[in-house]
Structures are given as C-alpha cells and as structure tokens.
Structure 1
Amino acid sequence: MTPMKDSCASLWASRLRQNQGIRSLMEDLGQVTGHPEEILLGGGNPAHIREAEDIFTACFQSLASDPNLKALLGDYQAPIGNDRFRALAAEYLSPHLDANLRKDNIAFFNGSQNAYSFLLNIHSGKMIGGNFKKILLPIVPEYIGYADQSIEADVFLAKEPEVIPTGKHRFRYGFNKENFDLSNIGCVVMSRPTNPTGNILPLEDIQWIEERTKKNSIPLLIDLAYGNPFPNLIAAEEPITYKDGRTLSLSFSKIGLPGVRLGIVMANPETIEILSSYAAVGNLAVGNLGVYMMEFLFQKNILPELAKNVLRPFYEKKLELATSIFESEFKKYGVEYEIHDPMGGFFLWIRFPNLSISNHQLYHLCKDKRLFIVSGHYFFPGLNSDFSHTKECIRLTYCRKEEELARGAHILAEIVASHQAKSK
C-alpha cells in the first residue's frame, strides 16, 4: 500500500496515525498468536464465565429458531434502532434508573465506544457562535478510549486528582474541587466505575459537579460500561440514576458480550435526535444482533440476577486472588508498589513509585517477555501538569486464569525489581 503523503491527509487523519492508546491496546489483542507463553493482562476482554455463556447460548438458540431470524439477518435497523426496540429498552430501564424514560430518550450504537465518538464531537470543538468548547474530565486517570475520539485537536481538559493514602500499599484518587472552572466547557465526562482504576466517584461529588453544570447548561456524560444496572460491578456504592441534563451509556460488552457490539445511550430527545443524524452518516444503521439479544434478555429479566449472582461474585473472587498473587510476587522481589483501591470494574491500577524507567518502557520490556500490560501514560488526556503518576502506573486485567496471573506477576515483579531506583 502506498503511504499517505502528509499533503493528502487531514490534520485529523494525521493525529489518528500517531501512537494511540486504544489502538495499541486493541492491536495487542488482535495480534495474539495463541503461543502458550503469552500472558494477556492488558486488554479489556471480560472473563469467560460458564453460567453467563450458557445463558447467551440459550439466547442464540432461541433467535435461531425464531421466525424473525430472516429480519435479524436480512433487514436494516433505523440508524439508532427501530422504535419497537427503543420503546422496550425505555420501559425496561426506567425502574432500574429511577426514571420515566420513553423511546425518544433511547439510542442504540455498535458499542458505547461508537456512541462516544459521536457524543464527544457533538459537545466539543468549534461551536455555531464561533467559540471553541472543550471536554472536561473531572478526575483522571480516565478511559483510554476517549482521548482520540475528537475530530478537533486539544479538546480535553483535566487537572491533577487528589491522591489519598488508604492503607499500606493502597491509595485512591479523589475529585479535586479547587479551581473548578467551566469556562469554555462543552461537556463534562466520566466513567463510573472509572476505567482504568476502578474508582467510583461518590454521588455527593457528582451532585456537586452537577449543581454547576446545570447552571451553565452543560451536559454531564456518565459512562456506565462497568456500572449499574448491569454488570453492576460497583460493590456497595450507590447506583446512578437518570436525570435531565445527564447522558448515560450502557454496554453489553462487560456482561460478557463484547463481540455483539451493543451500546445503549439515554439522553434528552434533542441529543438523541442529533445522535440519529450522526449515526445515519457514520454507521448507516445499528447492528441487529445486539438489539435482538437485548429483547430476549430484557423480556426474561435475566441481567439483574446474572449481575448479582454470577458476575459480581466471580469478579470479586478474581480480584482477591489477583491481588494476593501480585502482592506476594512484589514482596518476594522487594518491589515498591501502590495499588489503587479497586472499587469496581475488573482492572488493577498499580503504581511503582521508584521505577527508574517510564511505564511505556516497562510495557515494551514486558511485551518482549510475552507479557501484555497497558502503560498508564495513555489515561491522562488533557492533563498538562507534571504529575508523576503519568509515568509510574500501569493497568492490568485480573480476568485471566490463576496460572496466567501467576506467571504475569512473576515476570512483572522481576522486571520492575531490576529497574527500580534505590530512592526517589
């Protein structure tokens, strides 16, 4: 293939060709060879859980024998989903989100990543009046997939979080309320639980933010890919509800269906209408499989019990096991480390305060040993200060098998120990 000349590429295309965190992460997943020594602790794949997969198999079997199969395979949906499915989702999700949703509040996309590529561009960049609006991330680190979504450059704005010690080798990030400035902000965006740290911003902090966004008519976007009502990996924290001024998004990926690519957006009708125009241009139509599976799962009210009785217990046990394994290896090799309190999701966010190399260099050293991790430097879009955590942290998934976690912990501890300064 002939390389694209700079003169033939837009500024946006040029930025897309640069090193992106989300592209690096997904290419690592896609380039896996199946070699027995590969240790896949980097990606966001959910675990394969037999009880969940049995339910999804039953769903597929039901769809395969349904007379509507020809419509599933042979007909387009509307850009954001047909009215029947949108009405079904509105009715089903209303009690779970303490709201009175209608179909005009619902849009379907090919995954919530796809939805955010539209949402972030709706609310940022050059506005009709000529002013330029930015996207505020109230707490970082934040999801790796947001950073390269915007068509306009330099649209993200963030500031250092509070770093709160919570115990030996433990900390968490807190929301920094100082100098909270909404000037020239088009939207405020957060994930809850936060990917990559598992942080769950307290409702009182969200309410504090919302008091200010509402005064300025600024939408608050909350990504619930790991949150309530499913997969509901939020431990004992209070759930999010739908309110006017909020845009919420749900995903089928983390219940165990990443290949289906279904994201659900709940927003005011005006936002939904704009999203429909975006979707028609960018996607033509949402895929059929996800919404047909949604109909099956919603009508049988499967997901709340699946989350409560299968997903949460499974991931809680995985978290306990993974934490024990990594801490044991770190102690054995004398590694200095801190782990962010993993309140939700299924990742460990680990800081190595005495690391003598950058986390990106650590990523490459691990990859040379067939250990895949994610460098933490990707998770701070819009942060312009010299915050040490941007170079000292990594993200790991704990969704893998015990033997794989153990081998990964051994390799990681060995490499970090050999690149650890005596003091800092």
Structure 2
Amino acid sequence: MEDIAAAGQDADDGAWLNLSPGNPSHIPEVVAAWQEMAREAVEERFVEASTSYGPSRGTTGLVDAVVDYFNLTYGWSIGPENVVVGPGSQMLSFVATTLFTGPSPDGPARPLVLPRLPDYTGYQGLGLDPGGIVGIEPLIVEEGRHAFRYAVNLDALARQRDIGLMLLSNPANPTGSSVETAELKFLISVAEQHDAPLVIDHAYGEPFPGVVQTRVAPVLHPHVINLFTLSKAGLPGERIAFAIGPAELIDPMVSFIANSALHTPQLFQTVAEGMLATRRIDVLTTQHIKPYYRAKRTMAETLLAEALPDELNWRLHSSDGGMFCWLSFDHDWFDDLEVYELLKRKKMFVVPGRHFFVQPLDTPFLRTHGRSCIRLSLSPDEWDIAEGINRLGETLLELRDARSGR
C-alpha cells in the first residue's frame, strides 16, 4: 500500500497499472443507485441519523430490514437479537476474534484458526496474542494443464487440538473458491466439537454482491456467525456490515461495539435500510454486479491463456466469477516478491501471494507454494487488465531467462 501511495504522489512518473486493489469497480449503474439513495437520506433523515446517538446493535430501521430481508430470502426466523451492525466486516471479524480467542482460564490459549489457506490478508492481524493464529494448509487439486483449485484439508483440521474460533471468507479472497456442502458440514462439526464459533465472511458471495456463484447458501446454526457487507456491492468507503448469528454470540459483539465505538455511523445505515427494504440491492446484484464481474473473469481467462507462455507451469485457480485471478507458478526460479519488484520496474502492481498465507512461511508447503503465487485484481478497466497481463507474461520470461543464464 505504501508503494502504491508513493507512486501516485509522483506526478512526473507517468501512468501506473494497478492490478492489486480490493476496491470494487465503479459500475455506473451501481454508483448512481447509491448516490440517489444517499441524497434521499441526507434530505429526509439527516437530523434523525447524524445529530443523535443511536443503539449499539444498529439503527432499528436497518436491523429490522436485515431481519425481514433474510427471513424472506432464506426462510429463516431470526429476530433483532440475532443481528449486530458494525463498521465493516473486518471490524466484526476482529470483534469476534477478540471475544472468542485468547487465554483460557482452564487450559492453553484458544487460537484463531483459518481452516482454508490462502485467505484474506486482513485476518492475519486480528489476533492480539503472539502466535495466536493457526492456518490449515490446503490440498491442491490440479484441473488440467493450467488450472487448479484448493480443497480444505479435513484431516489436518481434525487434528487441530485447540480452537477458539474458525474464520474464513466464502467465496474466498483471493481465490474465489466456495466451500462445498461436505466441507461446510465438516467445519460445523468441528465447531461443535470445540464449542467454538465458525465465522463465515460472505463479502463476495450471496445474497449480495454475488460476484462469485456460491455452492452453498448461508446457513443458520448455533455455532455459526455469518458476516455480510455492502463494501463489494459498491459502498466500501462507508463501512457498513452486519453479523447474523445466535443471540448468545451476537450479544457480546453488541457490547464490544458499545464499549469501543458506541455504534456504527448512522447516516449510511439509513441508506442500507432503504436498499434492503425495497430489495433494490437485488436488482444491482443480478442485473449489474454479477454480469460485470463474470464478463471480467471470462476476459481475463482468455488473456492469460494468450499472454502467458504455454511452456511455463502456471495455473489459474478455478472460480465461478470473482474480483481476482489467483495464479500459481511451479518453478524453482519463481519468487512472488521478486516478480513484484520486477513488475514495479514496468510500472505495474500486483499482490505477492505469500501475504495470504500465515507467517512465518516455515513449513515445506509454505516455503514453496506460499511463495509461488500472485493475485491480480479484476477491478481496473479492460485495457489495464489486458496490458497488465501482457507485462506479466514478459516479466516471467525475463526472470526465467535470467535465472537459467539464457
């Protein structure tokens, strides 16, 4: 992030290609819809929302809208006691981690367990205790010459002795993968065995923004906390998210919000309320967001096949959409940080893959595969993606030739 900021400050440095951001694309129809709803909120509800303190659980209007939306969509029977609104799903992840992991009065510290690496880099800063985060290394399933996917290593997860909380993004950042039904059932059984919450972050999935087609709908369970956010649905700067789960897990999260921030900013809670209550969010998701990223993914797959040398052992993680392409390169000469630096010389940014694995990279798998991946964003415009993929192909050949003495 510091590199990107420094590049942006140098006006004489020319245009950079930034294929690293997690920021969603500015889809015109989506931006226009949020602007319209925001104007209405400012004009009609500013005094109500912005000049008074409110409930720590979230505004009554938004909490009720969440309850009605999810009960209607999934046939649930939740109430306000099952909901808490927070300033972003990452903050809600931190709240849950702080509450449910750490020192135990009757035994060893209960760690945060990431059951499916690689996963969102922000999770690795959630634990307050040194060494309090455990990542379960995945299984790799090859799918043809240039494709692969990860699977949850169920046996390794079953051997984990202590668990305070399990957390995963689904669909995953960076890969776009979605847990299978059998994997989800096993994760829930492990949560039950350890009497630990399973937190599932649906930032990219159903019911919104749906940038990846998920295989399993969100589930209600006494050990599951579901996180939902409006960030990838076009509103990342306003930090509006909410958790849904059993009241005995949600209530401590409400208390945490009360003691740390009092409540989430309220003006855009009223905007979110309108989006859910009118189900306008469904129109944005189905008619604009899903088709946009599906087309971007299809385009990127074609460009990668054309621009990356076929003789190289590269693989793209399989995904039914998504905001990213996750690439693995099976060569001794490949190093994600070195590729990052070489691409910077070509005025291009990607994200080195090692940051999506739990540090330190001190196991055989992490020392090799953990350094062999990069993430490309599909948020930039089509020209930037095409040119960036071309520069990546050139850089790979340059690095291979330099290492082999060609």
Q: Same fold (TM over 0.5)?
A: yes
- Alignment correspondent of 1:9: none
Aligned counterparts of 1:218 and 1:355: Cα–Cα separation in 2: 40
Query: How big is each residue's C-alpha offset from its partner over 1:83-123, in whole Å with a ceiling of 9 and x where there is no partner?
Result: 34322211222233442111111111111111111111212
- Alignment correspondent of 2:118: 141
Aligned counterparts of 1:27 and 1:227: Cα–Cα separation in 2: 30
- Alignment correspondent of 1:313: 291
Deviation at 1:233, TM superposition (A): 2.5
Question: Which residue, out of 218, 243, 251, partners 2:221?
Answer: 243
Deviation at 1:222, TM superposition (A): 0.5
Segment of structure 1 superposing worse, 179-188 or 214-223: 179-188
- Alignment correspondent of 2:60: 83
Deviation at 1:165, TM superposition (A): 0.9
Give yes or no for the alignment of 1:227 onto 2:205.
yes
Residues 65-144 of structure 1 mapped to structure 2, 5 A cutoff: 65-66=43-44, 68-144=45-121
- Alignment correspondent of 2:385: 405
Aligned counterparts of 1:369 and 1:299: Cα–Cα separation in 2: 47
Query: How big is each residue's C-alpha offset from its partner over 1:115-145, in whole Å with a ceiling of 9 and x where there is no partner?
Result: 1111112121112335310122221101111
Aligned counterparts of 1:181 and 1:99: Cα–Cα separation in 2: 33
Aligned counterparts of 2:333 and 2:236: Cα–Cα separation in 1: 36
Cα gap change, 1:85 to 1:269, in 2 (>3 Å) = same
SS of the residue corresponding to residue 348 of structure 1 reads strand
Amino acid at match of 1:128: P
Question: Which residue, out of 242, 259, 271, partners 1:281?
Answer: 259
- Count of residue correspondences: 397
Give yes or no for the alignment of 1:32 onto 2:27.
no
Aligned counterparts of 1:257 and 1:42: Cα–Cα separation in 2: 19
- Contact map agreement 2:54 2:263 (CA 8 A) in 1: yes
Amino acid at match of 1:40: N
RMSD: 2.2
Cα gap change, 1:148 to 1:292, in 2 (>3 Å) = same
Query: How big is each residue's C-alpha offset from its partner over 1:243-282, in whole Å with a ceiling of 9 and x where there is no partner?
Result: 2210000010101111111111112222222112221232
Segment of structure 1 superposing worse, 234-243 or 144-153: 234-243
Aligned counterparts of 1:98 and 1:143: Cα–Cα separation in 2: 30
Amino acid at match of 1:75: S
Deviation at 1:344, TM superposition (A): 4.1
SS of the residue corresponding to residue 195 of structure 1 reads coil
Aligned counterparts of 1:159 and 1:125: Cα–Cα separation in 2: 18
Aligned counterparts of 2:216 and 2:5: Cα–Cα separation in 1: 33
- Contact map agreement 1:193 1:344 (CA 8 A) in 2: no
- Alignment correspondent of 1:370: 347
Deviation at 1:290, TM superposition (A): 2.8
Aligned counterparts of 1:45 and 1:30: Cα–Cα separation in 2: 18
Long gaps (5+) in structure 1:
1-23
- Alignment correspondent of 1:196: 174
- Contact map agreement 1:340 1:350 (CA 8 A) in 2: yes
Identity over aligned pairs, percent: 24
Deviation at 1:348, TM superposition (A): 0.4
- Alignment correspondent of 2:314: 337
- Contact map agreement 2:21 2:379 (CA 8 A) in 1: no
Aligned counterparts of 2:153 and 2:379: Cα–Cα separation in 1: 31
- The structure in which a higher percent of residues are helix is 2
